[in-house]
Chains A and B, each alone.
Chain A
Amino acid sequence: MDAPAGTIDTFPRLLLRHAQTLGDRPAIREKYLGIWQAWTWGQMRGEVEALACGLAQAGLGRGAHLAVIGANRPRLYWAITAAQSLGAIPVPFYEDAVAQEMVYVFQDAEIAYAIVEDQEQADKLLEILPQCPKLKHIWYDDSRGLRHYGQPELAPYERLRDAGREKAHAEPHFFAAEIARGAPTDTAIMMYTSGTTGHPKGVVLSHDNLIASSRAYAELERLTHEEEVLAYLPMAWIGQNLFSYAQWMVVGFRINCPESADTVMNDMREIGPTYYFAPPRVLEGLLTAVTIRMEDASWVKRRMFQYFMELARRVGSRLLDGLPVAIHDHLLYFLGDLFVYAPLKNALGMSRVRVAYTAGEAIGPDLFVFYRSLGINLKQLYGSTETSVMVCVQPDGAVKPDTVGPPMKGVEIRVLESGEIVLRCPGLFRAYYKNDDATREAKDAEGWFHTGDAGFFDSTGHLKIIDRAKDVGKLSDGTLFAPKYLENKLKFFPYIKEAVAFGHGRGEATAMLNIDVQAVGDWAERRGIPYSGYTDLAAKPEVAELLRGCVEKVNADLSRDERLCGSQIHRFVVLHKELDADDGELTRTRKVRRGFIGEKYATIVDALYAGAERCIVEAQVRFEDGRVGSVRAELSVHRAKTYAAQALAA
């Protein structure tokens, strides 16, 4: 155990090391009963040891799978390390997945053991028990509501831990011996990809995959064990796993679990993370909240905000990149910081952020620039579950809104004829679980991984991603049509929650829009427009006018781009219901499933292209409790103004 930290090669060994060298420092905190409760690395070692012994006692062996389901809770993190200590493989699940979505993974991975957060998750597993006969043990963290459940499979977490403590006491060397048996090439975790098509695939990642990726980031950003990180994203997402588990274990910083999903903003303000990771939708949500609050602010504050944000847009990013800025702008920016930027960053909980990353989806350039202009060092990175998120990252001082940066050290990238990006990297996954065909398809004989993303290198060697390779299409006249590019542009408006663009093989581009009920509702209230609910609000002619303005702005913007000018949006509809992962319209990471939506709402798509004024749509909706109902609505097709490229160039 005296090896230098940089050569320790499995997560459980990293835990032992931190327990030795950082024993008294907090490793993980959770806000409970209004107070941040902390566990040191030393205490965490004890908890993980007890849990590992308990799991071993229950029969969890090397190579077996352990389901981990729930929000970010210390005990669920310990469950991951405990499983890894035994050479077993943790499989995290999205906590908001409905029961039937879990069935496939339980069957595919032949999962016999599960540690879950609470009654909600336990109920789901009990529901699918008949379909998953291999599942034998379900331990729950929070016993609330479970007191009178009599199923033999169920047991409280405490029972597992206490049994483990006894075993640990009787066999004090068991834990260390199990850890010693582990190898860096062992599987550390299996993450199921959300799968925009077909069944999810289990991505097998080894300890050295994740550790190599974590070390690369830690080195690049000079991370230390002083960093504070908020662990608030779904555990089943590789981004969360890498930044809040793998890097946490590698660097030895602190992670903080929020009190509940609704308190994240407040908890973030209290913790003041120094290292922050957020997918674009979270950043978008924060910006929407800020925009709404600014509309409520007094006239003076509003003017001040507008004035200084204008200045920030002009010089903020340049200052952050260390580029020259006129002296009076320097002074003004200083004032702006005093009056606007610093208080705003404080309200966002980002005052102490040293490095912030965004990934998971392309980020709208305007959204990206907003954060950077405030002086928050937000950077884009590119990676996927299969690459342990290690492909490209923007280096300090060379951040561009529309690229994901140059390849990281040790990553080789090629762009194929078709525009698809292929790569080799140390974080590259072993295989898809029990799916050799898919593995061979994704990873060729020489180890090149086919990402499925389309992109190219710009003149400075930064990689630019346009869309999924299979989604990039052409209008019938041959104009380039990149749907996600259009959707992102639309989604930057606070009033638009989701957008789905159509146009491949068609004469012109069209779109379906989802209103952001919070922002549009607020807007409507301010104007005294009454509405009864989501569907009613979305159908208001005033709302259609509001969105038409947004679409036309996007069109004006597109007309400035030579290649994309042809894909301006001619017509759009405002959907009567929110696109929802429960209805299969979004993936669990909230990416739109364009193909599925196109089929489901074929009548709308037809109406968009038939020149109809209205269309009637009937759609199935799945309620949160699993029941299915249907919603019928009549939608109007709206036209938007398009711009000629020359007119604007002139």
Chain B
Amino acid sequence: MNLRELEPGTGQRKVGEVILAVEGVALAFGGVKALSDVSFDVREHEIRAIIGPNGAGKSSMLNVLNGVYRPQQGRITFRGETRSHMDPHRSAELGIARTFQSLALFKGMSVLDNILAGRNLMMKCNLLLQALRVGPALREEIEHRRRVEEIIDFLEIQHVRKTPVGRLPYGLQKRVDLGRALAAEPRVLLLDEPMAGMNVEEKQDMSRFILDVNDEFGTTIVLIEHDMGVVMDLSDRIVVLDYGRKIADGTPDEVRASQAVIDAYLGVKH
């Protein structure tokens, strides 16, 4: 059963227009085709999952979306602007943030500082003013700190606010990584295997946070995840990749019923 159906009154949750679309994207590394002719769209405020067996091209797709990889073919449309590729800095400025499968945190820095680092694009004052903490820089810093504290409160990590990230258990580090991504106040949040390596309880917590982020901030979420139960519960729509091709696209129920998906996951006789 989909988690959302358990919540009464969710019919009011508004999934909007298409905010992000890829058309005919192909990506190859030398002779290896990571993606070929993949097209799908993401609507505003929805939770969109990309799934597929190992090596299906999920992470490559995410890297195309935020500009780490340049596809050889295809177009990407984000908030009405169409490009042949994104670039990482520009995509961050436009409101795309992501978390990483293998965490991208400063291990020696506190939780607070890590999340604050996620706001660096929004820091307007120059380095000198920031260092001296005077006038506008001080006001700005207070504002940033407030937003960071709101995220800490939201993710329920007050008790480790000042703990160096490297000393936290893995599940909490994942939560901090999510916090760092949220600090950029993204329109679209890309989550790369947010539950990988977690135990059941941590997965439940993380699912709750993802739903809450989507509900509270209206953030559009694109996630890659291996845990099928989680994907089916969380997502509004799912894209299934296999060997770099899209083999299915639809609601959890549609995807679950698709013969191509069953074959890809269970294998077929050739």
Q: Establish whether residues A149 and B9, one from each chain, have CB atoms under 8 Å apart when the complex forms.
A: yes
Which residues from chain A contact B208 at a C-beta distance below 8 Å? 145
- Distance, CA A33 to CA B146, complexed state (A): 7
Greatest chain B CB density within 10 A among A126, A144, A148, A259 is at A148
| Residues in chain B near residue A35, CB distance under 8 A | 149
B211: A residues at CB distance < 8 A: 145
B145 to chain A, nearest CB (A): 8
CB distance from A270 to the nearest CB of B (A): 12
Contact across chains for A144 and B159 when beta carbons are under 8 A apart: no
Are A34 and B149 within 8 A (Cβ)?
yes
Complex Cα spacing A595 to B116, Å: 53
B158 & A263 in contact (Cβ 8 Å cutoff): yes
User: Whole-angstrom distance between the alpha carbons of A170 and B156 in the complex?
Assistant: 40
- Contacting pair A262 B158 (CB below 8 A): yes
Question: DSSP majority for the A interface?
Answer: loop
* A148 touches which of B9, B145, B156 (Cβ 8 Å): B9
Asked whether A151 is an interface residue with its Cβ less than 8 Å from the other chain, the reply is yes
- What secondary structure prevails in chain B residues at the interface with A? helix
Chain A residue nearest to B200 in the complex (CB): A623
Contacts of A32 in B (CB 8 A): 153
A625 to B204, CA, bound (A): 10
B202-225 to A contact mask, C-beta < 8 Å, 1/0: 001000100110011000000000
Look across to chain B and name the residue whose beta carbon is closest to the beta carbon of A150.
B9
Interface residue? B126 (CB, 8 A): no
Q: Which residues of B139-159 are within 8 A (CB) of A?
A: 145-146, 149-150, 152-154, 156, 158-159
B7 at the interface (CB under 8 A from A): yes
Known: A32-B153, A33-B150, A149-B7. A263 touches B12 (CB 8 A): no
A100 adjacent to chain B (CB < 8 Å): no
- Whether A150 contacts B8 by the Cβ 8 Å rule is yes
Known: A34-B161, A260-B159, A262-B159. A144 touches B12 (CB 8 A): no
Contacts of B158 in A (CB 8 A): 34, 259-260, 262-263
> Is B10 engaged at the interface, CB distance under 8 Å to the other chain?
yes
Interface pair B156/A151, CB less than 8 Å apart: no
Could you tell me which residues of chain A, from 114 to 170, have a CB within 8 Å of some CB in chain B? 126, 144-145, 147-151
By beta carbon, the residue of chain A nearest B208 is A145
A266 within 8 A of B: yes
Q: Given A33-B153, A147-B216, A148-B13, is A266 in contact with B146 using a C-beta cutoff of 8 Å?
A: no
Q: Chain B residues near A150 (CB, 8 Å)?
A: 8-9, 12
Which A599-638 residues have a C-beta within 8 angstroms of B?
Answer: 625
- Assembly CA distance A149 to B149 (angstroms): 26
Instruction: List, in ascending order, chain B residues with CB within 8 A of A263's CB.
Output: 158-159
* B159/A148 in contact, CB under 8 A: no
Which residue of B is nearest A143, CB measured?
B216
Q: How far is the CB of B154 from chain A (nearest CB, A)?
A: 7
| Complex-state Cα separation, A617 to B156, whole angstroms | 37
Cα(A526)–Cα(B131), bound, Å: 44
**Closest chain B residue, CB of each to CB of A533:** B199
Per-residue interface assignment for chain B, residues 258 to 270, with 1 indicating a CB less than 8 Å from any chain A CB and 0 otherwise:
0000000000000
Q: Identify which of residues 7-23 in chain B touch chain A, using a CB-to-CB cut-off of 8 Å.
A: 7-10, 12-13
Q: How many contacts between A and B, using CB within 8 angstroms?
A: 48
Chain B residue nearest to A262 (CB atoms) is: B159
> What's the Cα separation between A145 and B214 when bound, in Å?
10
Instruction: Kindly provide the distance from the CB of A28 to the nearest chain B CB, expressed in whole angstroms.
Output: 19
Asked whether, in the complex, the Cβ of A149 is within 8 Å of the Cβ of B212, the reply is no
Whether A148 pairs with B161 at a CB distance below 8 angstroms is no
Q: Tell me, in angstroms, the Cα distance from A266 to B216 when the chains sit together.
A: 29
Residue of A nearest to B146 (CB): A33
Q: Given A144-B216, A145-B215, are A151 and B9 also a contact pair (CB < 8 Å)?
A: yes
Give residues of chain A (220-261) contacting chain B, Cβ–Cβ below 8 Å: 259-260
Contact check: which of A144, A147, A151, A259 meets B8 at CB < 8 Å? A151
A34 B9 Cβ-Cβ under 8 A? no
Asked whether B149 lies within 8 Å of A33 as measured between CB atoms, the reply is yes
Distance between B7 CB and nearest chain A CB, rounded to angstroms: 6
**How long is the Cα–Cα vector from A151 to B7 in the complex, in angstroms?**
10
B245 shortest CB reach to chain A, Å: 36
**A144 B212 Cβ-Cβ under 8 A:** yes
- Could you say which residues of chain B place their CB within 8 Å of the CB of A266? 159
- Whether B7 and A34, one on each chain, are in contact in the complex, defined by CB atoms closer than 8 angstroms, is no
Central interface residue in A34, A149, A150, A262, by most chain B CB within 10 Å = A34
CB distance from B216 to the nearest CB of A (A): 6
Q: Which residues of chain A have C-beta atoms less than 8 A from B12's C-beta? A: 148, 150
Are the CB atoms of A148 and B153 closer together than 8 Å? no
* Residue numbers in B under 8 Å from A33 (CB-CB): 146, 149-150, 152-153
* CB nearest to B199 among chain A residues: A533
Q: Are B215 and A148 in contact (CB under 8 A)?
A: yes
Interface residues of B in 180-238 (CB under 8 A from A): 204, 208, 211-212, 215-216
Q: Chain A contacts of B212 at CB under 8 A?
A: 144-145
Chain A residue nearest in CB terms to B162: A266
Note all chain A residues with C-beta closer than 8 A to B153.
32-33
- What residues of chain A lie closer than 8 Å to B13, measured between beta carbons? 148
In the bound complex, CA of A150 to CA of B9 (Å): 5
Task: Name the distance in Å between B76's Cβ and chain A's nearest Cβ.
Answer: 31
Contacts of A149 in B (CB 8 A): 7-9
Instruction: Please measure, in the bound complex, the distance between the C-alpha atom of A381 and the C-alpha atom of B142, giving whole angstroms.
Output: 46
Question: Is the CB–CB distance between A148 and B146 below 8 Å?
Answer: no
Closest A-chain residue to B151, C-beta based? A33
Residue in chain B with minimal CB distance to A259: B158
Complex CA gap A619/B10 in Å reads 38
Contact with A along B105-131 (1 / 0, CB 8 A): 000000000000000000000000000
Docked CA distance A260–B215 (Å): 23
Q: How far is the CA of A150 from the CA of B145 in the complex (A)?
A: 34
Q: Give the residues in chain B near A147, CB-CB below 8 Å.
A: 215-216
Query: Which of the listed residues A151, A259, A625 has the most CB atoms from chain B within 10 Å of its own CB?
Result: A259
Give the residue of B152, B154, B156, B204 whose beta carbon is less than 8 angstroms from that of A34. B152
Mask, A22-62, CB within 8 Å of B = 1, is 00000000001111000000000000000000000000000
- CB of A623 to closest CB in B, whole Å: 9
A517 to B145, CA, bound (A): 36
Q: Which of A255-295 contact B (CB under 8 A)?
A: 259-260, 262-263, 266
How far is A32 from B156 in the complex, measured between Cα atoms in Å? 12
By a CB distance below 8 angstroms, the chain A residues around B204 are 625
Q: How far, in angstroms, from A462 to B161 measured CA to CA in the complex? A: 47
- 6 smallest beta-carbon distances between A and B, as pairs: A150-B9, A262-B159, A33-B149, A263-B159, A259-B158, A34-B149
- Can you show 11 pairs from A to B with CB atoms below 8 A apart? A33-B153, A34-B145, A35-B149, A149-B8, A150-B9, A151-B8, A259-B158, A260-B159, A262-B158, A263-B158, A625-B204
Task: Please give 7 more A-B residue pairs, beta carbons under 8 A apart, in addition to A32-B153, A33-B152, A150-B8.
Answer: A34-B158, A34-B161, A145-B212, A147-B215, A148-B9, A149-B7, A150-B9
Residues of B within 8 A of A (CB): 7-10, 12-13, 145-146, 149-150, 152-154, 156, 158-159, 161, 204, 208, 211-212, 215-216
